[in-house]
Homo-oligomer: A and B are copies of this chain.
Amino acid sequence: MAALVAGAREGDQRCVARLVSLVEDASPLLREVMAALAPLTGRAHVVGLTGPPGVGKSTTTDALVRRLRAAGRRVGVLAVDPSSPFSGGALLGDRVRMGDHALDQGVYIRSMASRGHLGGLAWSTPQALRVLDAAGCDVVLVETVGVGQSEVEVAGLADTTVVLLAPGMGDGVQAAKAGILEIGDLYVVNKADRDGADRVRRDLEAALGLAGLEPGRWRPPVLATVASRDEGIDAVVAALDEHRAVSERSGETERRRLRRAREEVEALALTTLRERWESASGRGAPGEDLDRLAAGVAAGRQDPYAAADELLAAWAASARTAGTADPA
C-alpha cells in the first residue's frame, strides 16, 4: 500500500490506475490511501466538460489533452458515465481513440462507471480526482455524458465547467434552457463548420445575456471549435487558464473547493453512519426492518414519514442491544 501511494506520488501510471480502482471498488483501504494522499492534493485545475450526447465531448477532450501535453502539462482524464450503472464499458468505442496517449507517461485516462450507489458521481468522482491531483496532474478533465442531473453535479466538482453544444442536435436552445445557462464558465459550440453553428452561438449569447450577470462577475465566453481538426482549441485552453486565474484572485476557486469538500465530508459521514447501523444490527443492507417498513408503505398501511421514524428507532435500538456505542 505504501509502495502504491509512493508510486502514485511519483506519477507511476500503474500505481495511479490501481488507486483509482480501489476508489471504484469502494475498498476498505481507501481510508488509509486518502490519508496518505491528502497533503498532496489541491493543486490540479479541475475542468468539467459536459453537454448532450453527440456534441463531440470525447473529440474535444482528446484535442485538449494533446494541446495541454504539447505545453508540457500533465493531464488526467476522468470519463464519467452516470447513466450507465450496468455497462461500464459502454463508451469504450469512444475511448479507443484515446489510445494515442497510451504511451505518454504524462497522461492518465480513466473511464468510470458510477455503480448506482447513493450519490452517484458525488461519492466516487471526488476521490478519483484526489488520486489524479496527488499524482501531480496539472489539469484534470472530467467528461460526463448527458444533459441532466449529471451536469449540475459536474459543475459542483469542477473549478471550471465547460458546456459543449453543437448544431443539429435537435434544438440547441431547448437544451440551453434546460439548466445549462447557470453552470457554464465557458461555452463551446463545437462542429462550428456545420450549418446552424452561428445560430446556436447567437442563441446562446442572447440567452446568456438575458441571464443577468452581476457586474464584476466572470462573463462566460462563447467559443467556436472544430475539435476534429484542432480548430479553436488554443482559445479554449487560454479561456480555461484565464478563468482559473480570475477565480483564484476573486476567491471563487476557494469557495467552490470548500463547498465541494463540505458535500464530500457530509456524504461520507452519512455513508459511515449507515454502515455502522447495518453492522450493529447484524444484518446486511438494507435490513429486515427496512424491508418490513417498505412493504407497509407500498401497501398503503403506513405513510413514509412514520416508517422513517420507525426505522430510526429500530436502528438505534439494535445499536444499543448490540452493546455498541450510540450510532453516531
Q: How far is the CB of A258 from chain B (nearest CB, A)?
A: 5
A87 neighbours in B (Cβ, 8 Å): 177, 179, 181-182
0/1 string, A176-191, CB within 8 A of B gives 1: 0111111000000000
Chain B residues with Cβ under 8 A from A83's Cβ?
A: 147-149, 151-152, 178-180
Interface residues on A, range: 35 or more
Identify which of A148, A302, A316 gathers the most chain B CB atoms within 10 Å of its CB: A148
Query: What sequence of 0s and 1s flags, for each residue 26-53 of chain A, a beta carbon within 8 Å of any chain B beta carbon?
Result: 0000110011011111100000000011
Report whether B305 and A170 are in contact in the complex, using a CB–CB cutoff of 8 Å.
no
Q: Select one of B39, B121, B264, B311 contacting A265, CB under 8 A.
A: B311
How many copies altogether? 2
Interface residues as binary, A50-93 with B (CB distance below 8 Å gives 1, 0 otherwise): 00111100000000000000000000000001111111001100
Q: Return chain B residues, CB-CB under 8 Å to A303.
A: 31, 34-35, 37-38
Q: Which of B146, B166, B290, B328 lies in contact with A315, CB distance below 8 A? A: B328
In the assembled complex, the Cα of A158 lies from the Cα of B211 at a distance in Å of 34
Indicate whether A135 reaches chain B with its CB closer than 8 angstroms.
Answer: no
Q: A179-B81, A290-B262 are known contacts. Are A35 and B306 too (CB-CB below 8 A)?
A: yes
Query: A150 — which chain B residues lie within 8 A by C-beta?
Result: 148-149
Q: Which residues of B contact A290 (CB under 8 A)?
A: 262, 265-266
* Contact residue among B180, B266, B305 (Cβ-Cβ distance under 8 Å from A268): B305
| Contacts A266-B311, A268-B304, A277-B328 known; 15 new A-B pairs at CB < 8 A | A38-B301, A40-B300, A82-B152, A83-B148, A85-B182, A148-B150, A257-B298, A259-B294, A261-B293, A266-B286, A269-B308, A269-B311, A315-B328, A316-B328, A319-B328
